Structure 1
Amino acid sequence: MAASRKNIIVTLFALLLGSAVIQTCEGLGPIPHRKYYVRVENGLKGRPLHAHRKSRDDDLGERVLQPGDQFEWGFHINLIGTTLFFCNMWYDLGQKSFEVFNCLQDKFIYEFCGYKRCHWKPMDDGIYVFHAKTGGWDKKYSWDKK
């Protein structure tokens, strides 16, 4: 009986700890089964965009987008609340590596992604992210010139 009680206490502690970690990512408290998306849209004029996507655990590979093309992937945050995706993007005149989703950047996820979709649009003068609260595009990064 004591072992059973200990197992219940350990299980409850693990669930509470997991909820606390998820809460730091969600900001609004734990929301089970929430799915996030990252979308990349090529806004370059007349130039293909190369994008290599990775997380700490997975290499999602490289995509080549023609002007106006886009792609998207979805995922759930991991149990310890450290989900991180980054991209290396480049075209003939520049390149940039940056985080496209970081679970620990709660304010960014809320304001720009609306707790659902982070939408990135590389353009000739830099890389923009859609601001969910204002409905406009904000320049986040300048290209590193080749």
Structure 2
Amino acid sequence: MTFTSMFGCCIIIFNLMILIWGNGAFSKVEELKKSNFLDLYAVYITDGDVDNLMAHCKSGDDDLGDKKLTPNQYFHWMFRQNFFLTTVFTCTYRWMAPDNTELKSVTFNAFDIEISILCGDEYSINRCYWLVRKDGFYFSRDDQKPFPDGWKLMHTW
């Protein structure tokens, strides 16, 4: 391949990248509020009003195990994202009957790149709050506001 044809290919690829970028194909990247793998995150899971809640959260690297919660109890964990900002924590929530039979169950990502954008930055820690209620799963970047102010329904049972 001659220098001029190689140069022409580079110009075409460069123009295609500008065209794609200009059309918003990388809008997720633009929303990342300058996240990097050194940022510290804390995820809080609070039982709002479910009498017998079991939560099991894990990532590709960490399994946090089963957590049994009663109303107003919470658990949390802290971590840093991996270098590629692809860290995902998936949680399975089970609403248990008094005899420990499962009434309802749901699984979703409690943390991923899209959730990281929503987390609040306070005292150099990005905090992500989940509130589990009988009608669903609410998210907030700030737990100082009384429910429902500042809380958004993200998932239902």
| Fold agreement, TM-score > 0.5 | yes
Match of residue 85 from structure 1: 89
* Percent identity (aligned): 33
Number of residue pairs matched?
A: 115
Task: Please give the secondary structure, in 2, of the residue aligned with 1:110.
Answer: helix
Distance 1:55 1:123 in 2: 23
8 Å Cα contact 1:131-1:138 kept in structure 2: no
* Equivalence map 1:90-129=2 (5 Å): 90-92=94-96, 93-103=103-113, 105=114, 108-111=115-118, 113-115=119-121, 116-129=126-139
Match of residue 38 from structure 1: 43
Distance 2:31 2:79 in 1: 14
1:63 pairs with 2:70: no
* Equivalence map 1:4-23=2 (5 Å): none
Distance 2:64 2:33 in 1: 29
Match of residue 139 from structure 1: 153
8 Å Cα contact 2:37-2:84 kept in structure 1: no
Structure 1 residues not aligned, in runs of 5+: 1-23
Offset of residue 109 of structure 1? 2.5
Q: Judge which range, 30-39 or 118-127, deviates more.
A: 30-39
Structure 2 residues not aligned, in runs of 5+: 1-28, 97-102
Give the residue type in structure 1 aligned to 2:43: V
After superposition, the CA RMSD in angstroms is 2.5
Offset of residue 30 of structure 1? 5.1
Match of residue 5 from structure 2: none
Distance 1:72 1:99 in 2: 15
Change (3 A) 1:35 1:70: same
Offset of residue 35 of structure 1? 0.5
TM-score (norm 1): 0.69
